[in-house]
């Protein structure tokens, strides 16, 4: 027994199947690109976290560690918030206050205080700052 499907039914079904395959293919390509971007972002954030962990283990030279933390945090803010590298921490603090990001605002104030108070930078300050920055990167 052979079933014959009339052309009036077969053509619309074939068109629907072809369109469905095309839509699925487009979604697959977009998903693949999105997954690649997401993987790249995860790698960047993992790199920042590793750099922070490395800074936390450098206990002999707090001043040099602070400089590295300064460069790392500025690079992070520039990359993820599209901010100028040359902004001071007080300017960054004000910006993040407006954006309602109190954790980042507090970190920027602490960085500014540490940088400009004129006191010797201690290992405890470095630990506090690196812990705060790690939380920021982790929460992003």
**Structure token pair of residue 56:** 């936390």
Q: What are phi and psi of 59, to 5 degrees?
A: -100, -10
Nearest C-alpha neighbor of 140 from the set 109, 104, 87: 104
State mean pLDDT over 27-39.
96
pLDDT, tens digit (0-9, with 9 covering 90-100), for 66-93 = 999 999 999 999 999 988 888 999 999 9
To the nearest 10°, report the CA torsion of 13, 19, 20, 23. -170
pTM here is 0.76
Length of the chain: 140
The pLDDT assigned to 88 comes to: 92
- DSSP per residue, 36-66: HHHHHHHHHHHHHHHHHHHHHH--S-HHHHH
């Amino acid at each position: 027994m052979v079933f014959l499907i009339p052309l009036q039914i077969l053509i619309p079904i074939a068109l629907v199947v072809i369109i469905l395959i095309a839509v699925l293919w487009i979604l697959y390509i977009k998903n693949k690109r999105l997954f690649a971007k997401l993987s790249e972002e995860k790698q960047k954030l993992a790199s920042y976290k590793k750099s922070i962990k490395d800074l936390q283990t450098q206990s002999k030279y707090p001043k040099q560690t602070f400089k590295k933390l300064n460069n790392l945090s500025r690079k992070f803010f520039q990359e993820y918030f599209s901010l100028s590298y040359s902004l001071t921490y007080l300017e960054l603090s004000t910006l993040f206050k407006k954006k309602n990001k109190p954790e980042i605002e507090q970190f920027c104030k602490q960085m500014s205080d540490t940088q400009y108070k004129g006191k010797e930078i201690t290992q405890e300050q470095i630990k506090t700052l690196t812990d705060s920055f790690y939380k920021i990167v982790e929460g992003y």
